[in-house]
Structure 1
Amino acid sequence: MSIKKIYLIRHGQTDFNLQGIVQGSGVDASLNELGRRQAAAFFQKYQHIPFDKVYTSVLQRSIQSVQGFIDKGIPHEQHDGLNEINWGTREGTRITPEEDAYYHRMLQSWTEGETSLCIEGGESPELVAARQKPVVDLILSRPEEETVLICMHGRAMRILLSQLLRYPLRCMDQFEHQNLCLYQLDYTGSMFSVKKYCDIAHLQDVQV
């Protein structure tokens, strides 16, 4: 079996990112001006890669981040299994100090292995991993797609990387992310290896 190459990116910046407002799966924000420049910079750097398929969540910020590749005619699929974690009652709100303390307690609980705990009104890491698995299985079941581009979201990306690289979910925060960062993975048919980790070299000329 040939090596399957997976280019996994987080979406570009939105105004909600800039303002510190929680998005999650229930807030369908679009890219802001910087996010569009980030998407353009990634396209400029990687447009030569012969992607066989583009996979995104159903949220517009992920689709807009790879629109250049879609416009080239590369087949595109949307899957809600790739959506961001549902942050429940925090979605659409700016984190206050009190809520920030609650949020960090939840992250600490997950780090301590309590990954079945749902944030208030939302999802747990285990629930996110469960909805991601059918999408992963689908992608890996298609040997004709040798090189794929996946665009998704920060927390969901951490959970997906934990699954692909066989890390316990409690270790997900080891996978750093920034807007429009790239993880490049090779899959041999039995295991994944990381070729690029949270790479943002393509953004070096993008002004903040």
Structure 2
Amino acid sequence: MSIKKVYIIRHGQTDYNLNGIVQGSGVDSSLNEEGRQQAAKFFQKYQDVAFDKIYTSTLQRSVQSVQHFINLGIPHEKHAGLNEINWGNREGTRITPEEDEYYHNMLQRWCDGETGICIEGGESPDLVAERQKEFVKLMLSRPEEKNVLICMHGRAMRILLCTILHYPLRCMDEFQHQNLCLYQLDFTGSMFVVKKYCDTSHLKESLPEKDSLQDIRTN
């Protein structure tokens, strides 16, 4: 039986990440220099994988994180279903427990199983899972795509992993994430099997001196 290998990464760092500011689907931020370094290191590690397709959200930080692979001529599609959760009124604000008790209370309610509740002005995990279904159906309908690279966003990635691995959404925080972390999964035809969990080993490697960020960006 043919195995579909699916590589799911979170986008690289942005200044919003660095400063603890909520982004969500309504903030189309770009990678900062650290994020570009992370993208270059991931490319350095996985550039020899024969990816058949790249899928990203419609947000530029996800596209920028895999731009080196796109530059190789690998087919690329954007899907709004992969966009980050809409954080509503919290988008663009700095979140700490002291500053926004409501936000952290909402996260706890989701972990308690109330995943149908929308955050104020935004989405619920159930709504995100529902819009992801079209993408998952599309991806699985293409058996010719043996190696697939997906770049998306932290909360949306947690929801997607719960969905395809058949975990209840209240368990989504069990799936840890960092900027440019990797989840590698094999799809056997009937189920997904996790091969790498929140792997960041590629980020510990150094870029060769000749591969400056400017060199890589212009490839």
Q: What TM-score range do you get, normalising by the shorter chain?
A: over 0.9
Structure-1 separation of matches of 2:113 and 2:206: 38
Normalised to the residue count of structure 1, the TM-score between the two structures is 0.97
Comparing 101-110 and 157-166, the one that deviates more = 101-110
Q: Distance in 2 between matches of 1:64 and 1:177?
A: 18
Distance across 1 between alignment mates of 2:148 and 2:99: 38
| Structure-2-length-normalised TM-score | 0.92
Number of the residue aligned with 1:74? 74
Matched, 1:10 2:10: yes
Matched residues, number: 207
- Confirm whether residue 180 of structure 1 aligns to residue 180 of structure 2: yes
How much does 1:70 deviate? Answer: 0.2
Amino acid at match of 2:14: T
- Distance in 2 separating the partners of 1:96 and 1:161: 26
1:56 aligns with 2:56: yes
Aligned partner of 1:140 in structure 2 is 140
Deviations 1:33-71 (A, max 9, x none): 000000000000000000000000000000000000000
Deviations 1:63-122 (A, max 9, x none): 000000000000000000000000000001112545532111111111111000000000
Q: Work out whether residues 97 and 104 of structure 2, in 8 Å CA contact, stay in contact via their aligned partners in 1.
A: no
Q: Percent identity?
A: 76
Helix, strand or coil: the match of 1:138? Answer: helix
Unaligned runs of 5+ in 2: 208-219
Contact 1:38 1:206 in 2 (8 A): no
Structure 2: distance between partners of 1:99 and 1:131: 31
**Matched residue type, 2:146:** E
- Provide the rounded CA distance (Å) in 2 between the counterparts of 1:100 and 1:13: 23
CA offset digits 1:136-157 (Å, max 9, x no partner): 0000000000110000000000
User: Helix, strand or coil for the counterpart of 1:105?
Assistant: helix
CA distance in structure 2 between the aligned counterparts of 1:128 and 1:140, rounded to whole angstroms:
19
CA RMSD in angstroms, aligned pairs only? 1.2
Q: Distance in 2 between matches of 1:93 and 1:171?
A: 26
SS in 2 for 1:117: coil
Q: Which amino acid aligns with 1:92?
A: G
Q: Which residue of 2 aligns with 1:95?
A: 95
The answer to whether the 8 A contact 2:10-2:180 is kept is yes
Unpaired runs of at least 5, structure 1 = none
The corresponding residue for 1:28 is: 28
Give distance in 1, aligned partners of 2:83 and 2:99.
23
The one-letter amino acid of 2:118's match is: C
Q: For 1:99 and 1:65, how far apart are their aligned partners in 2?
A: 31
Matches of 1:56 and 1:204 in 2, distance apart?
24
Q: Secondary structure at the match of 1:27?
A: coil
Task: Report the counterpart of residue 125 of structure 1 in structure 2.
Answer: 125
Given that 1:37 and 1:206 are in contact with CA atoms closer than 8 Å, whether structure 2 keeps it comes out as no
- The one-letter code sitting in structure 1 at the alignment partner of 2:138 is L
SS in 1 for 2:119: coil
